[in-house]
Chains A and B, each alone.
Chain A
Amino acid sequence: MRRHAAGLAASAAVLLALSACSTPSSDDGQGTGGSTPRGSITVFAAASLKEVFTRLGDAYTSAHPNAEITFSFGPSSGLAGQIVDGAPADVFASASAKTMDTVIRAGLAATSTTFARNSMAIATPTDPTVRVTSLADLAIPGVKVAVCAVDVPCGTAADKLFANNRLTVTPVTREVDVKAVLSKVQLGEVDAGIVYVTDVRAAGDAVVGIDIPASQNVTTDYPIAVLMDGAENSVADSFVAYVLATDNLQVLLDAGFLAP
């Protein structure tokens, strides 16, 4: 998925190059130790990061016109599998420490840093067939619940959520990623879906979110790492630093994430 910002960045790069002819360059890149990040990177990121990373990526490429970012969003476990199988990714942002560990254990990343945390919420259709108002309602027979597949982080979190609250929930479907759960809710095919707080926020008016009290809720860590493919790429380091920058924490908090 190549974003429009890339085109903008390219035109901005031309403008900058032109202005550089008249004024000696004194750009910020020199001041911070490295040269201006230049090049293109591929970022593999959890499906739940789609909206917030698209926004951060746009802001980043506007500030760094010589950099270009291509995103691939999907289930963290699937992305980790692709990276281990040699997919050409430079940066990996995962929705669980476990999937990040798969990549680190394979020797494809040195370390990772947690940049945010997420918690779970119940998404319900705007015109529900069966009204769900609390976590306990999901255990009522006949209430149709969608959750993520067992090995996908949002599925692991959902199972933990049910276990912690001693609920026996029998989902009607285990979808391959969190966005697929959300779409089943939006279409009204299920009465409720277990998704991240951030998904409910991102979906806007399309679903009705029900908060889960912090005492009942579970959280999941979001680690980010530069991969071996990106080790030589200044954009990869610079983008990861950008995501971790305290100035950008607000973007994550606005999207519903929790501070790391």
Chain B
Amino acid sequence: MTSRRGRSATAPPWPVLVPAALAVLFLALPLLGLLIRAPWSRFWEVLTSPTSLSALRLSLLTGAASTVVAVILGVPLAWLLARATFRGRRFVRALVTVPLVLPPVVGGIALLLAFGRRGIVGQPLEALTGITLPFTTPGVVVAQVFVAMPFLVITVEGALRGLDGKLEEAAITLGASRIEVFRRVTLPLVGPSLVAGAVLTFARALGEFGATITFAGNLEGVTQTLPLAVYTGLEGDPAEAVVLSLVLLAVSVLVLVGLRDRWLRTGASA
């Protein structure tokens, strides 16, 4: 009796419970649909088809390459945004967040107009070096870096801001150069956030669709990554689309599991 009363005192009222339950159901049902309708009997056969395998290989390759590029370019940018004071810093930070809210297909068109054959950078690039980016695997990486790098920059910048500056100051007073301090003190301290940012970047790159199909096109083995293969599969063999969707879902779950300490427990990201 007492325990019952105690429970009802803390139980949420139904005007909260009902919409909350609906929200959970709404988020869970599509995933359930994917699992139930999946052609399990053909799963392995479809997964190991040449189209699926080449999409899988290409996605892993470009996703990894994009993450590496994002780390190389993004960590210094995060450091600048967190530590340096310069004119236009707020503008640069706003610029970093644009790809987060921009529809990826718009990003793809913007990339075409910049790096395409007739683009402001693409045209001189082709004239000077003969290199063109659209319809190539490096073009896929360009599209992925554009949409995914902000995840890395923002995560690492947040971590750098939260750092206690005393350790770095101590290193400087002990005679370390600024580069040394960055490499041997700052980087190890933000290590976990860097890994989290890199995982997020990889996941976003892996899921990239709109910018890729617009900028890099859609050709098996060259630019057809997993999401593009899913979309193309819907035109011909929907079973293939469902199986590849499950692969992408599994990756998302793995990312969540990997980041569970950061997101699922506290709900706050560094």
Q: Which A residues are closer than 8 A to B by beta carbons?
A: 75, 77-78, 81, 129, 144, 146, 149-152, 171-176, 184, 187-190
Closest to B236 in A: A151
What is the CA–CA distance of A146 and B223 in the complex, to the nearest angstrom?
A: 13
Since A77-B235, A149-B232, A189-B118 are in contact, a sample of 10 more A-B pairs with Cβ atoms closer than 8 Å, ordered by chain A residue number, is A129-B117, A149-B236, A172-B217, A173-B218, A174-B220, A174-B232, A176-B231, A176-B235, A187-B118, A189-B116
Interface residues of B in 171-218 (CB under 8 A from A): 213, 217-218
Pull 6 A–B residue pairs with CB atoms less than 8 Å apart, ordered by A: A75-B235, A150-B236, A151-B237, A173-B135, A174-B217, A190-B135
What is the CA–CA distance of A165 and B236 in the complex, to the nearest angstrom?
A: 25
What is the CA–CA distance of A187 and B235 in the complex, to the nearest angstrom?
A: 25
What is the CA–CA distance of A172 and B111 in the complex, to the nearest angstrom?
A: 18
- A174-B238 in contact given A129-B117, A188-B117, A188-B118 (Cβ < 8 Å): no
Smallest beta-carbon distance B209→chain A, Å: 11
What chain A residues lie within 8 Å of B116 (beta carbons)? 187-189
Q: How many residues of B contact A (CB 8 A)?
A: 19
Most chain-B Cβ atoms within 10 A of its Cβ — which of A171, A189, A190? A189
CB <8 Å contact, B218 and A81: no
CB <8 Å contact, B235 and A152: yes
CB <8 Å contact, B134 and A189: yes
CB <8 Å contact, B235 and A78: yes
Contact with A along B111-145 (1 / 0, CB 8 A): 01000111000000000000000110000000000
What is the CA–CA distance of A151 and B234 in the complex, to the nearest angstrom?
A: 9
> Any chain A CB within 8 A of the CB of B255?
no
Tell me the dominant secondary structure on chain B's binding face.
loop
In the complex, the 8 A-B pairs of residues with the closest C-beta atoms, listed nearest first: A173-B217, A151-B236, A172-B135, A77-B235, A151-B235, A188-B118, A149-B232, A189-B134
What chain A residues lie within 8 Å of B270 (beta carbons)? none
Smallest beta-carbon distance A48→chain B, Å: 15
Choose from B118, B135, B235 the contact partner of A149 (Cβ within 8 Å).
B235
What chain B residues lie within 8 Å of A152 (beta carbons)? 235
What chain A residues lie within 8 Å of B235 (beta carbons)? 75, 77-78, 81, 149, 151-152, 176
What chain A residues lie within 8 Å of B237 (beta carbons)? 151
What chain B residues lie within 8 Å of A187 (beta carbons)? 112, 116, 118
> Any chain A CB within 8 A of the CB of B219?
yes
What is the CA–CA distance of A12 and B44 in the complex, to the nearest angstrom?
A: 58
What is the CA–CA distance of A16 and B231 in the complex, to the nearest angstrom?
A: 46
Closest to B134 in A: A189
Smallest beta-carbon distance A35→chain B, Å: 39
What is the CA–CA distance of A152 and B219 in the complex, to the nearest angstrom?
A: 14
What is the CA–CA distance of A150 and B235 in the complex, to the nearest angstrom?
A: 9
